[in-house]
Each structure stands twice: as structure tokens, then as C-alpha cells.
Structure 1
């Protein structure tokens, strides 16, 4: 069970002191059977006049910070220690009725999954549908897990990963047409594709690290993005199309959401003279316990937006 130390520092710089409005901060990893928080510290400068925690509709931990001081810099520093025990692919055990596609979710589960099956992007020419159907066998049965695994691998194999520091996400149709994008673009493409096939899927925001020197992951930045698909018998199973992997080995969940805009790590407002904003910088450092991986000095650092 790897033990991780994670540092995520975001800094906003301004030409002169500005006033800060309410900020919503979602950087605390989720507690679960496969990732356990040992310690979590959130330091903000200037010090907020008030900070409160809540769980949103998806159970994500969110800090709400308010301020009564003006400053030229706003620094949000998250320090985390956690144990991570990722599930192995062979532990994906799908109910017999769902092992082959197509299938229908049970009447007990369907009411809670409906909103995660709904499409989020208008696709008048059904381009995403056509692309998704290429993974369905034209004759005979289609193995459910094999189909989803191949879709994950195909995005990794056929698309070009291009880091993009700017905010925003391409539409799935744009990503499909350009055959390139970031981790968040890939995640939204796969979510729409599996929803087109009738699967329940959710967007995941978190962190990515190299489990060992032999396993190199792509997509590091201030956060990483991937997909969860609901499979009866195993529940929410993770697929990372950026790296072409199934399961959460090397992936730390922070936020689970139906749509990408519900999983923004940091959002807030400021007021001051026009043109005051100078820059935003992000620094993420993840150190993996050497004893757990067999590697020496297995630490990773990045300062770009995935």
C-alpha cells in the first residue's frame, strides 16, 4: 500500500492589492476503501476571515473561504498525506447479466443512475454515437469490460495529448475532429461516448502519479481527469483514457461529478482596478514512499495545467 505526500500550491498575483470574494476550494482527496487520509492541511494567505467545510451533492469535500483583507497575492497551499491501495483490474467482477453488451441496469439502480446516463453535449450529426459504436461487435456478443478497455486504449493510441494551460474544455465533437486534447478533453469524450451506449458515467478530477519507475503516467498538472463507469457487480470502475489504463493505479480521486464544471478545483472572485491580474501559477509535488514502490526518490513535480 503506497503512502503518498502531496503538495498542491496555487498562487494568484496582482499589480496592486485587490479585494477577494468568496472562494470555493476542492482539493481534499475523497476518503474511501482504497484511499485513506492520514493528514490534510489547507493554508491560505491572506488568512480568510472565515473558512467552512461542506459536502456537495456528490459527497466531495469543499472549503468555502471568505476574506476581509486586500492583498497583492492569494496563495492556496494544500498538504496531504494518504495511504493508497488501488484496485487491480482482475478484481473487476461484473454481474452475469451485464458481462456482455447490451444490457439494462436493474430497476433498483436505474433511478439513481439516470442523470449520469444523460448526454451533456448536443451532437446533431451523431458523430459521437458513430465513433462509440465502432467498439461494439457487429456480430455476436460484445464483452462489456473488453469493450470499455479497448475504447480507453484507443483514445490513448489514436489521439495526441497536448497540455493546455488555458481554462476550458473542448467539446467531445471538437476532440474527435482534431484527434488531440488534454486529459479533461479525453475524459469528456469518453463520457459522452459511453453514455451514447447507455452506460452511466461520471467525471473524475484528482491527481496522477507514477506508481513506479516502470510505470510512467501522462497528464500531470494541477489536476488530472479521468472517467468512472458504473458496472453492476463492481460499481464505479475507473478508466483513464489519457494513459489507456483501467483501474485507479496511480490515480488519486478528489472530486466526482456528473459534469466537468461541477469539479473545478478552485474558483472565486476578486475586485480591483481593471488589468490588476498578473498571473496564476500552480505547483504540484507528489512523493511516493520508497518502501512501497521499491524505487529511490520517487517524487514527481509539475507546474502546468493538464
Structure 2
């Protein structure tokens, strides 16, 4: 029983003169390892005069490489997908006994395969100071990762940055704030310095207004919305790649739809390519619509069903009034026959 959410994503470049486009690499197809089930997906690119090659990159992500043989005055990219927003437990995994306690080492048979995800960039003074503050004494691995992710959420304030690029860990720590991609890249570097395999993930975040407002936790979004997002994934023996979102301080769930998971953020950009010089009018739009809602514990009936039930109830009330039927409520019968108290009517 779930909600089906339809996502529409539009990216539109309008140029003030004909431009020559280099190959455009588009990474807007949900990745193979997405735990959120994607029921349908379509990618539409204009101008229609182009060549396209559908590929998988060295890390298994889907990409589409577009080549435009003639100069263009616009580039329009539209994505439509339908996601099954069935809730799942992000902790629904097992950890190999050898990795249950941090620090741990990876099995020899996969150690070399994970080398690219365990090699950090040189740490600056602020990152080194942060690393020194981390307690390395033996502890439960999952708890350690959860606490580290939550710490970043507390110490790095979230901001919206429209400019391109990703802050270095030093820049993010110095500012104590950053976008989702900044804090995710910081978490990747912290984990690699701890010997833990980590990768950068770009994807869609689909957040739906909750049926009930939490009494003791975050209230959640007030409206349904979707946007591009970034987070981190950690390889845990036995569990595989597990998503951690330092923006929320939580594990990733059904709201996270990965598009690309790579060792470096530069290979996870949703759209990459070059164009000759021109002034650009940039258009961007994202929206999410609920196209199906099944009954569930927190919302057993649709709004239309509730209206029908209310209308029927009002009709019954009217009939009872017209027939002068009066209802009373009470406990057990108060009066019984003194002469025939064992008869069926009592």
C-alpha cells in the first residue's frame, strides 16, 4: 500500500546566438541500486537533431551521451518518472561479524576493489582537527556511523547554493555551513580518512507532506516537493552500500532516488558538457504530483471517501430526525421485567 509520485524535471538553456555544443553527458536515470522502486522513466532532449548513446559508466551508473551535429539556440532536457513511495526500514540489513565493531578491516577479496573509495584527498588543518576529535575506541559500527552523520548535521548548517562547484572540506568546516553536496563531500572525506569506503551520490529527493504531524520530532514538509540532492553512501560488509544524508542527519529512505554514485563528485553531475560562448537564459523547474494513493494506517480513506461517508452520515441523521427515532447510550440494561425477567427480550 503506497503512494505513487510523478516527478517532472525540466532544465532549459536558451542562447542569444547559435552555439556549438560539445558532447552532453546526462545522468538523470535512476541508478540500478535504487531501493525506491521506479515504475517508469523517460528522458526527452531537444533539439531533436542529435545522436545519443546510452551507456553505463565505470561505476555502473546509467548515462546518456548526446552529440549535436549542428549549432543550436536552445538545449531542453525533460525527465518524467513515477516512483513507488512505499516506506522501507533503512536499518533492514545485516552486518558481517568481522565488521560489527569499528574500527574494522575489509575482507581481502574486496579490499583492492574498494581502494578508490578509501583513498582520501590530503587533509587540511581544519579537517585534521575534526578527525582528531573523533573517538576511535572500539564501538558498534552502525552506531558510530549514525552518530558521525548526526554530528555533521548539527555542526554544518544547511544553505542553498546556486553557484556551481563543491566546497572543499576546509571551506565547509571554516564556514560551518554548506549545501547538500558540500556536507556530503565532507562526510566522504572524513570516512575515507577513517579507513571506511565511501562514495558521493547525486539524486532526487522526493518529500511528501506527512499524513500526521509528529508530536515529538521534526514536523516534516508542509507541502509535497522534489529537488536535486546529494548524500553519501558507505560500504559495510554484509550490508553493502548504505546511504547517509548529512543534511538531515538520517539514513536515506524511500525519499532518496539515486542517479549517480561515484568516487568523486565531478563524475556525478546530473548534466555535464561544454558550449561555445553565448549569453544564456536558464530555466529550471521541478514538481511532484501524487497520481495514486492507496489506503494506509495513517490515512485509511481518501478525501473523496471521507466526503462520501460524511454525506451518507448526514442522510442517515436526517432520516432519524424525520422518523423521530431517538438514540440513547448507556451500559447494561437498567430495567427488567419483574414478572418475566428470563424471557428472550431481556
Same-fold status (TM-score > 0.5):
yes
Any idea what SS the aligned residue of 2:107 has? coil
CA displacement at 1:196 relative to structure 2:
0.8
Partner residue, 1:73: 74
The alpha-carbon deviation at position 94 of structure 1 amounts to 1.4
After superposition, the CA RMSD in angstroms is 2.5
2:118 corresponds to 1:117: yes
Q: Deviations over 1:103-145 (max 9, x none)?
A: 11111221211110001x32243x324313434255xx32211
SS of the aligned residue for 1:151 comes to helix
- 1:106 corresponds to: 107
Runs of 4 or more consecutive aligned structure 1 residues displaced over 6 Å after TM superposition: none
Say if 2:238 is the partner of 1:233.
Answer: yes
Quote the offset at 1:7 in angstroms. 1.2
3-state SS, counterpart of residue 123 of structure 1: coil
Q: Show CA shifts across 1:63-90 (max 9, x none).
A: 1111134332211111112335564133
Structure 2 residue 220 is the aligned partner of structure 1 residue 216: yes
- The whole-number CA distance in structure 2 between the counterparts of 1:48 and 1:229 is 41
- The equivalent residue for 2:146 is 149
Pair 1:249–1:38, CA change in 2 (3 A): closer
2: CA distance, partners of 1:51 / 1:245: 37
What is the aligned residue count? 289
Q: Is the 8 A contact 2:181 2:231 kept in 1?
A: yes
1:35 Cα deviation (Å)?
Answer: 3.1
SS at match of 1:187: helix
Distance 2:274 2:134 in 1: 44
Which residue number in structure 2 is paired with residue 56 of structure 1? 57
Task: Give the 3 Å change call, closer, same or farther, for CA 209–132 of structure 1 in structure 2.
Answer: farther
For structure 2, which runs of at least 5 residues remain unmatched after alignment?
Answer: 214-218, 304-346
* Bigger Rg over Cα: 2
Query: What's the offset of the Cα at 1:2?
Result: 4.1
Q: Which residue of 2 aligns with 1:301?
A: none
Unaligned stretches of 5+ residues in structure 1: 298-306
Give the Cα separation in 2 of the matches to 1:182 and 1:233.
31
What's the offset of the Cα at 1:281? Answer: 2.5
